[in-house]
Amino acid sequence: MFLLKLLFRNTLRHKIRTTLTIIAIAIAILSFGMLRTVIDAWYAGVEAASANRLVTRNAISLIFYLPISYKEKIKSVPGVSLVSYGNWFGGIYIDEKNFFPNFAVEPKGYLELYPELVLSDKEKKDFLMDRKGSIAGAKIANRFGWKVGDTIVLKGTIFPGKWDFVLRGIYKGKDKNTDESVFMFHWDYLNEVVKKTMPTFADHTGYFVIGIKDPTRAGEISRAIDLTFKNSLAETLTETEKAFNLSFVAMTEAIVIAIKIVSYVVIFIIMAVSANTMAMTVRERTSEYAVFKTLGFRDYHIAGMIFGESIMISAIGCFLGIIATFPSADAFSSALSNYFPVFNISEETLIMNVVISVIVGLAAGIFPTLRAMNTNIADGLRRLV
């Protein structure tokens, strides 16, 4: 108890300096937590991918379509349990700034393949029964104030014209990593209009989503699907959903690496600030440590006081930084929901914050401790004169 009381008093001896150091650590922890959460959000689609789903697209590029007739051939490949398909629609709601992902999908199979999209039985039935029906995630519905039964009008970019949809359901994610900002409607509705206005693109789809029974056979099944369409006019590339999503992240890998580097640079900077604070503290208390030694305190007692004070300052800063991270993340998510539909602070990030605060506290105390331990009593007592 005496040592804890001594640590607390020593920590508050220079209130302004200690306060500024704690604030600096809190800001660093907040910055690190936000940067790591941005990285997690970048990989959210990858983490949410199912091992039981494959994605088949055109081998040349995703912008080239595949004949819808491929569905039955894919379904006949051993190990395939279910096949659905979809198109990126790229519609605009009122204004271009109102961006959100919107897809034309084969609804029945798609909902079976994505059980994490939670709809009531009535919503699901209404969506399947209405050719112009659509469903939207809870986040996008809340953003625009949509309600079930509303008519949603999108302006087509890839497929020109104004497209009317009736909102038949608002889905919620089964877990926190599910994207609740997607808008989906019937592929058949899109295809009917395309047959009249853009017949070249009729009866074609952008990708197939494939359900498999055994995830351990994903590679084997992927090769079998691609072999089926080898040397055809539209060869395919089949990969796991995780690999498919990761290919999009890879396009911006340089940005992700830069964010990671910045997050660690922040920690090194605050480590230097904390080390400087502790160095000043030890330099001012050299004579006190000499007195402690004359009273019988051992080197490990001195080390315990210095490290204890350093860790205490770092821990308080960490606590305040973590508290500030949650409202900051909510504000960030609201402001940039277009780009980061899933923005959650993970337990791993919180654990990293705690570990980093301990590392900063220990690292900041190493050199001051060595200096205090290596200063003999006579040299320390001279500062009293």
User: What does the pLDDT profile of the chain (385 residues) look like in tens digits?
Assistant: 556 666 667 666 777 888 888 888 888 888 888 888 888 877 776 677 788 999 999 999 888 999 999 999 999 999 999 999 999 998 999 888 888 899 999 999 999 999 999 999 999 999 999 999 999 999 999 989 999 999 999 998 889 889 999 999 999 988 887 888 899 999 999 999 999 888 888 899 999 999 998 999 999 999 999 999 998 889 999 999 988 888 777 667 777 788 888 888 888 888 887 877 777 776 766 676 667 777 777 777 777 777 777 888 888 888 999 999 888 888 877 766 666 667 778 888 888 888 888 888 888 878 777 777 776 666 656 655 4
Predicted local distance difference test score (pLDDT) of residue 115: 92
The domain in which residue 27 lies consists of 2-44+252-382
Residue 113 lies in a domain: yes
Tell me if 29 sits within 8 A of 317, measured CB to CB. Answer: yes
Can you tell me the distance from the alpha carbon of 28 to that of 37, in angstroms, rounded to the nearest whole number?
A: 14
148 and 187, same structural domain?
A: yes
- Is residue 239 in some structural domain? no
pLDDT at 226: 94
DSSP state of 214: -
**Spatial separation of the C-alpha atoms in residues 143 and 287, rounded to whole Å:** 63
Strands 236-240 and 53-58: antiparallel
Distance (Å, rounded) from C-alpha 349 to C-alpha 40? 9
What residues have CB less than 8 Å from 14, skipping those under 6 apart? 281
Same domain, 32 and 167: no
Structural domain includes residue 244: no
Q: Is 81 helix (H, G, I), strand (E, B) or coil?
A: strand
Query: Is residue 126 within 8 Å of residue 141, measured between CB atoms?
Result: no
Which pair of structure tokens corresponds to residue 129? Answer: 């029964």
User: 3-class SS at 173?
Assistant: strand
Question: Is the separation of the CB atoms in 381 and 290 below 8 Å?
Answer: yes
Per-residue confidence (pLDDT) for residue 179, from 0 to 100 = 86
Let me know whether 206 and 321 are in one domain: no
Are 172 and 298 within one domain?
no
Residue count (the chain): 385
Helix (H) / strand (E) element for 158: namely: none
Spatial contact of 357 and 314, defined as CB atoms under 8 Å apart: yes
Q: Is residue 260 part of a domain?
A: yes
The answer on 158 and 301 residing in a single domain is no
Whether residue 277 is found in the same domain as residue 330: yes
Q: Is residue 118 part of a domain?
A: yes
pLDDT attached to residue 267: 83
Q: Does residue 285 sit in the same domain as residue 367?
A: yes
Strand blocks (E) in the chain: 53-58, 66-67, 80-88, 102-105, 117-118, 133-137, 151-156, 161-173, 183-186, 204-205, 207-212, 236-240
Is 241 within a domain? Answer: no
**64 & 204 share domain:** yes
Q: Is residue 55 part of a domain?
A: no
**Rounded to two decimals, what is the model's pTM?**
0.77
Q: Are residue 258 and residue 223 in the same domain, yes or no?
A: no
The domain total for the chain is: 2
